[in-house]
Amino acid sequence: MGSKQRIGGFDLGKTIKESKLYKDYMASKSHSFSEDKEFILELYKNFIAPEVKLHETLEADESHWADDIAIAQYIGNEDNKQFERR
């Protein structure tokens, strides 16, 4: 990947930075653990997990990605459940 972190011709970082979620989070004067946690969870749910181009690019670059993503999402979901309980 290039220095701009383009994924399959798609700039995920730019998309995130232009989102209302990111702008609202960055505009906040202070961040509690709870706010940080919610931001990370929403970022994952809205941008990382559903991004098909990200998954396709990683699968093309790494032959084991298809196997790894299922495990990573399971672990992520379990971690999210633990965060939500706190």
**Phi, psi angle pair for 54, to nearest 5°:** -60, -50
Q: Computed over its alpha carbons, how large is the radius of gyration of the chain? A: 15
Helix (H) or strand (E) segment spanning residue 86 = none
Q: Which residues contact 13 (CB under 8 A, 6 or more apart)?
A: 4, 5
For residue 26, the 8-state DSSP code is H
* DSSP secondary structure letter of residue 8: T
Q: Each residue of 3-52: pLDDT tens digit?
A: 455 555 568 888 899 999 999 999 998 888 888 988 988 888 888 888 87
* pLDDT for position 19: 95
SS3 content of the chain, % helix, strand, coil (to 5): 70, 5, 25
